Each structure stands twice: as C-alpha cells, then as structure tokens.
Structure 1
Amino acid sequence: MTQPQHSAYLVIGGGIGGLTVALALARDGHDVRVLERAPEFSEVGAGLQVGPNASRVLDRLGVLDDVARDAFFPRRLVLRDAVTAEPITALETAETFRERFGYRYFVTHRADLHQAVMTACLASGRVELLASKHVTAVTPRDGGALVACADGSIYDTDALVAADGLHSLTRDLLIADGPPLDCGYVAYRGTVPIEAVTADGGLREPDAMVIWVGPSLHLVQYPVRRGELCNQVATFDTRRYTADADDIGRQLDNAFTGTCAEVARGVGLIDRSRRWSMVDREPVGGWTRGHIALVGDAAHPMLQYLAQGACQAIEDSVALADSVTAHPGDTAAAFKAYEALRAPRAARVQTTARTWGDILHIDGVGASMRAALLAQRPADDFAPVDWLYGHDAARTTTQLEHAR
C-alpha cells in the first residue's frame, strides 16, 4: 500500500486561484504543496481584466510589477451600442481612477498573470508544484484530510485548500447543491493581431476597452501583450438559435447579424473551434468544514459580466492566509473566519454579475431607457463601483476580529 506523503498545507488546483493562495500562505511562512491535474501548470484562455481590488493583493504578494509588465492600461472602459455604434456610457480608468482607488485598471493575458504567480511560488522556496496529479478522492480526517490521486499517490495534509474549479470534487463533499447553473449564454474567446482589428478603422478606440452591447449579445475588445494583440470575447444567448444547435459557428454568425461594421469585423475574426458556457451557482455558505476550505470558483463561481472571477479568487488568497495568521494552531477556526469574511462579499459579486448581464443584454424599450439613464452620468463618477474596486481584502484586525 502506498504510504501517504504529508503536507502541512495542500492545495488542489494549479490555476490562478490555487497558486495565489499557495503564494499567500508561503509569504506568511507556510510550506505548501500544490496538486495540478494537467501535465503542466498553465492557463487556458486569453485576456483577463484586473481591477484595483485584485491589484492590491498582487502588490502585497510582490508580483504586481511582473504581472503588469506586459499588460495594457486602458484609459477608459466604454459601453457602445453594438447595432448603431453609438456610445452609451464610459468609465475613466486613468489618473483620476488611480487617485480614487490607488491602482489603474489593466488588462493582461491570463497566461502572463499565471506565469508571474507561479514564478513567485517557486522562488519562495516554500511551494512545491506537482503536475499530472488527478485527484480522485478527498477524505476528511480528524485534524486534516487524505487526498488520493489517479496515479496511486496519497497525500495526508493538516489543511486542505481546494481550488479545483467549477466542477470541484471537494465542493461536492461539502455542499450538496447539484450541478452549476447554465444561463444559456456562451462565449467565444481569443486573441488576434491588433492590426487585424484596427485595419480600416475597425477598432474605434484603441486606447480603451470597449464593450459592444445588443439584444441578448455583446462583444468585448481590448488590447493585451503591450498592445500587440487584441483580446475579443463574443457572447450571446444560444436559446434563440435552437435550430442551429448542430452548427455552433452558424449560431455565432446569426446572433451578430445586423450589428455595426466594427462588431461584424471583430466577430468574423474569432476562432470558432471552442466556446465556453456561461454558468454560475447560487451564493451559498458551507465553503469550509474542519480543516478543508474552498477558494475561487470551487466556492463562488460567477458569471463573467463584472470580470471578477479571477479577481475574487485572488481576494480569497490573502483573506485565507490572514485568517490562518490570526488563528495560530487552529486551522478549523481560521477557515471558518475566512468564510465569514469572504462569503458576503463574493455573494454580492455573484448576484451583481447576473444583474449586469441583464443590463447589457436588454432589448427594446429597456435598451432605450438604459441609454437615456446612463447618458446622464459623467465618466469620472466612480460611486457605482466604489464597493467593488475600493475593497481591500488584505489583513485588518477589525475584519478578522469581527469574523471570529
């Protein structure tokens, strides 16, 4: 029988959430082992938006400069009508934004952020990264947990952190809420050379991140990798196109028929080989039990309309590490305090993301009312996003004492 290998802290999942929590624990002096199912530690996807709430954490972890080195800093986030191309509203994200929140809004390639955090984990000397570790069973025990992998290896840990994503095996052990909720929307993602989008005036605002919105659809465009690439995300409601269910490329074309020239050009460049379903879950408690805790999508999967999935996982990392520091020698109490701190915050982001999706995709009179109302707000009105970007997930005695 294989002898279990012992770990003080064991993390399941080597994505952004798993690596940031490993780095946060390592920065506080803990040894961490990370198990990743894939043959190598890498990230699938393209662009990633990073708000100040996540930048604060990355700065504290000492990786912000590395993450932002090849990032793109838009001067504005712009909402435009996908059919008429008319502007609806904008949010300034340059100096006045920095003055308000302490950090600029930036966009980067998901792989760049992942690489920066992974490099920091390895450099810490406290994080061991193990690939090709498909976790098949998690068994709680007094004072810890046992984790079994498909290759026959077994790990015994005093504290288990599950960052194993949307279909978390560990979540199924803690929370009986069934499969994720599919909202019917899908997203096509990918990057193209910036020249392909800007040719003949195809990218109207090259220094901005633009969200083109229309009935049951939207297209997001922004530069990444020092402005050399353009990241695009085309999203639409598949429930309108059941007749084309066997031809997903045709669904995409049909959904964006009638949009303006800039949107049509962008959609025409998108890779059709893969698409992602838009799913989330109802906000629930129960992320922790004894010496087991969930982070990131395993705890609070959310729709992408606030671009906060990775940012919330990053917030989790320091909240959990700080709770461990505040409860020395009592992992169960630390994990409980972590959930008390994070659950209300994550729930608000989850539910607001759903609402924002409804606002983006509204049609008819609702769309006209949206345009009329949003036209009245100045671009430097940050009040609607203060709660989101002004949040500081880093250590505060008041927060931790309240969570006890």
Structure 2
Amino acid sequence: MPVTTPLRITVVGGGIGGLAAALAVARSGHHVTVVEQAARFGEIGAGLQLAPNASLALEELGVLPAVQHTAVAPPRLVMMDALTGNQVTALDLRSAAYTERFTHPYLVTHRTDLHAALLTACQEHPDVTLRTGHTVTHAEQDGSGVHLHFAEPHAPLIADAVVAADGLHSPLRRALVGDGEPVCSRYVAFRGALPTERMTGPMSRHAASEAVMVWAGPRMHLVQYPLRRGELYNQVAVFESDHFTPDSDDWGTEAELEERFAGTCQAVRDALPLVSRDRRWPLYDRAPIDNWVHGRIVLLGDAAHPMLQYLAQGACQALEDAVALGRALGRSGDPAEAFNAYADQRRERAARIQTNARRFGELCHLEGMGATLRNMLLSSRGPDEFDDISWVWTPATTPVPAL
C-alpha cells in the first residue's frame, strides 16, 4: 500500500551508507533520525571508485551534481603487470560503447567529498534529524516499535523501525544475526592521497593520464588514480601477510610491505615511498547471509554484506541499498513489508558481488604460470568489451545471468 502516514525511522550509523539511507527514506516521505557514535559526522580513508551503478544511485538521491563537482571521471581503467611493467588490459570509459551501455559516468572521488555531499543533503532535508555522540548498546522491539538504548546518558529513542547501517563491526548485526566477527583475508592495505605535484618523474605520466591504474602482482597490488579535480593522487598498496595471526596486531607491517613489493617494476617501486604509512587497514569480509530483516530492524551496507575491495563495490552497493530501501518504504507504510521487499531485491545481487570480489582478488594476485595465463587471456580483450563486468555495473532490475 502507498505511504499515507509517515513513519519514524532511525538510521544507526552516519557513514556513507547511513546518510544515503537517511536521504532516500526521507525523500520517500518518512521522518528520519540518524544516530552516530562519533562526536561529529565525518569519514576516514582516501579515494573510492563509483561505477555507473553508484552514479545512478547518486542521481536518484539528488546528489550526483554535488559529487561530480569534485570527482574525476577517469578515461580508462588499466591493469598493469606489477613485475614487468607491461599493460595487461584496459577499458575505455569515454567511448560510445561505454555510454550506450551504462549511460552514467564512472567516477573516482575522495571518501570525505562523497560523505560531505550526502551530509549536506541530509542537513538540508526538513525530515532528517542528525545526532552525534549516540552509541547504541542494544535495541528492544515489539509489535509497535523499537527502543534504542545508548552508552551515553541519553533517553532511549523510540522509532517505528530501525536501519542498521553501523558498518563492518555492526553491534546490531552481532546481536541479531549472531555470526561472530568478520573474516580477515590476511591482506592489508596502506592507503592515502597526496598532492598530485609530488608525483614526479616517470610517475607524473600516469598521474597526468587521469586513468585508474591497477598494478597486479603476486599476492599484492597497487592502485592509483586522481582525486578532487586532479589536485590529489590516491595510492593504495595491498598485500598478503605471511605473519598473520588472528589474536595479534603485529602483522602486515611496513617492513612486510617493502619486502612484498621489492621485486616489482621501477614504476611501482618509485611510487611505493609515497604511499601513506599513517595507518594500515586489514581487509575483512563475511560470507553472505539471507536474514537481513529482524522484525522492525533491517541491515544495510557493510552491516549486511561486507565485501573485499577488489571489485570496488563496497560503497556502490551501500548506495544501491539506500535507493532500494527508499523505494520500498515509498511503496509501503508497513515496515516489515517494506524491509522484506528491500531485502528480497538486494540480497542475491549483494551476495554475488561479495563472493566474486573474493574471486577477483585471487585473479589479481596470481603468481607464476597463473599470472602468465591471466595476462594472456585478458590481453585479448578490447577496450570496449564490458561483458564480464557489466552485471556488476548494472543494478539488478531483472535477474542477473549465472556465471
């Protein structure tokens, strides 16, 4: 049934997924409160890639122009062999074939810029209330609503329904699903953005090209692309640690980073000293689950389907979630009905991307003869051949074909 009486929806988590969900739900006619545990809204990290499925979602949320103001539309996606320095394959993102197939642009942006665009849109929407310093400890629900309790001395918050967008280590998911902690892949990332003018010598050629560069090597890779109108250059060095132990944080060190990349080509070795070492990021995911909906509480984004970064779809899938949730709540004022419709639309696609992100990571990190065969296979692909990635970049309005 169409919405007649606005619901009071609380979104737990003020990251990209949470703000996108709040905006989508408010635009569908409901009152939304976002509760964030941090003292202020913000994002950490560096760059992220927004494939055309994400650009479509941002357009539907009304924030695509704001994101495009600072984003870069790279002309190509390029895979290089990190050992030889030779190009393996590339896709042309400005060709007629791309535009006819996908319509919406492929963008790269700083996480803080995307978050700021969503935050501004939420601040300007009359039906969105933003609260910081609210750490959810537990939720109690009955047939009429949900009571959220907080670690801080705030009164419980009563909502008709709750969206858990509280990230990879979601306390709400842990309480509702009970599947323990995320799975560590044994890989870590060192990432950050620096002023583009610091990319000097041979590295400046790649920076000037504005392409997304992926240097694939044995159990490691380096990603590079420009950010913020080309003023910044994003670099992410990823590698598998030989010293991983689940009960220790003493693995994936800078010394291991240097050791793993020691045999790479000159271009990669030149870039490595400029990779940010301020923080190391262990990479986690989870196996897909079916139970996103728990009464009047529903999971969204990394709380529902955390995935490895190898298809560059983590934020993209959270944005797709937000749009689907907003549409479902626009069609029905019954939270259970709307949540189940949203989960039914999103569950299979998100699970497929989760599992294939792992597979693409394995492909990227092949060694020896496996890498040689990969390069031979991919080198035969033309720059306008999108068949193997189109299902990822196209939101599922109809069932996707099996692999």
TM-score between both structures, scaled by the size of structure 2: 0.93
1:187 corresponds to 2:189: yes
Q: 2:180 aligns with which of 169, 178, 181?
A: 178
1:328-375 deviation line (CA, Å, top 9, x unaligned)? 3x1111111111111101001001100000000000100000011111
Residue aligning to 2:294: 289
Decide which of 359, 362, 368 is 1:364's aligned counterpart.
Answer: 368
Offset at residue 148 of structure 1 (A): 0.7
Contact 2:186 2:244 survives alignment (8 Å) = no
Counterpart pick for 2:315 among 310, 314, 317: 310
Report the Cα distance in structure 2 between the residues aligned to 1:53 and 1:247, rounded to whole angstroms.
Answer: 33
CA contact (8 A) 1:75 1:93 kept: yes
**Alignment partner, residue 304 of structure 2:** 299
Instruction: State the 1:167 CA deviation.
Output: 0.8
Secondary structure of the structure 1 residue equivalent to 2:389 = helix
- 2:341 corresponding residue in structure 1: 337
1:155 corresponding residue in structure 2: 157
**Structure 2 counterpart of 1:373, from 377, 380, 391:** 377
Change (3 A) 1:241 1:141: closer
Letter in 2 for 1:277: P
Where 2:212 maps in the other structure, the secondary structure is strand
After superposition, residues 200-349 of structure 1 pair within 5 angstroms as 200-205=201-206, 206-239=209-242, 245=250, 248-328=253-333, 330-349=334-353
Checking the alignment, whether the CA contact within 8 Å between 1:174 and 1:288 is kept in structure 2 is no
The equivalent of 1:38 in structure 2 is 38
Superposition pairs of residues 55-74 of structure 1, within 5 angstroms: 55-74=55-74
Q: Which residue of 2 aligns with 1:354?
A: 358
Whole-angstrom distance in 1 between the partners of 2:152 and 2:181? 27
- Once the two structures are superposed, the pairs formed by residues 56-205 of structure 1 within 5 Å of their partners are 56-96=56-96, 97-153=98-154, 154-197=156-199, 199-205=200-206
Code of the residue aligned with 2:171 in structure 1: it is L
Overall identity of the aligned pairs, in %: 47
Structure 2 Cα separation of the partners of residues 279 and 390 of structure 1: 25
Whole-angstrom distance in 1 between the partners of 2:361 and 2:62: 33
Alignment-mate amino acid for residue 177 of structure 2: I
Per-residue Cα deviation, 1:155-212 (whole angstroms, up to 9, x for no partner): 0110100100011111112212111111100001100111222x11114432211000
The amino acid across from 1:68 in the alignment is Q
What is the letter of the counterpart of residue 62 of structure 2?
G
- Aligned equivalents of 1:304 and 1:91: distance in 2? 19
For the residues of structure 1 that align with 2:91 and 2:244, how far apart are their CA atoms? 33
Deviation track 1:293-336 (CA, whole Å, cap 9, x = no partner) reads: 010000000000011001000000111111112223x1111111
| SS of aligned partner of 1:236 | strand
1:5-32 deviations in whole A, cap 9, x for unaligned? Answer: xx81000000000000000011112110
Match of 2:131, as an amino acid? L
Q: CA deviation at 1:152?
A: 2.2
Q: Return 5+ residue gaps in structure 1 as ranges.
A: 1-6, 400-404
What's the CA shift string for 1:94-135, capped at 9, x where partnerless?
Answer: 133222101121100110010001111111111111011111
Q: Is the 1:35–1:133 contact (alpha carbons within 8 Å) kept by the matching residues of 2?
A: yes
Residues in 1 aligned to 2:151 and 2:302: alpha-carbon distance in whole angstroms: 23
Aligned to 2:71, what secondary structure does the other structure show? coil
Q: CA RMSD in A?
A: 1.7
Structure-2 change in CA distance of 1:228 and 1:254 (3 Å):
same
The corresponding residue for 2:3 is: none
Structure 1: 4+ residue segments shifted above 6 A: none
- Give the corresponding residue for 2:51: 51
Matched, 1:391 2:392: no
**Counterpart-to-counterpart distance in 2, 1:235 and 1:250:** 13
Partner SS for 1:235: strand
> Does the residue aligned with 2:39 lie in a helix, a strand or coil?
coil
Partner-residue secondary structure (3-state), 1:383: coil
Work out whether residues 241 and 251 of structure 2, in 8 Å CA contact, stay in contact via their aligned partners in 1: no
Structure 1 residues 270 and 344: alpha-carbon distance in aligned structure 2, compared to 1, 3 A threshold: same
Partner of 2:11: 11
Instruction: Give, in angstroms, the shift of residue 246 of structure 1.
Output: 6.4
Deviations 1:215-247 (A, max 9, x none): 0000000000111110011000012688x9468
Q: 1:204 & 1:239 partners in 2: Cα distance?
A: 33
Gaps of 5+ in 2: 1-6
SS at match of 2:242: helix
CA contact (8 A) 1:191 1:232 kept: yes
Deviation per residue, 1:41-69 (Å, 9 max, x gap): 00011101001111111101110000111
| Contact 2:137/2:150, CA 8 A, preserved across alignment | yes
CA distance in 2, matches of 1:76, 1:50: 13
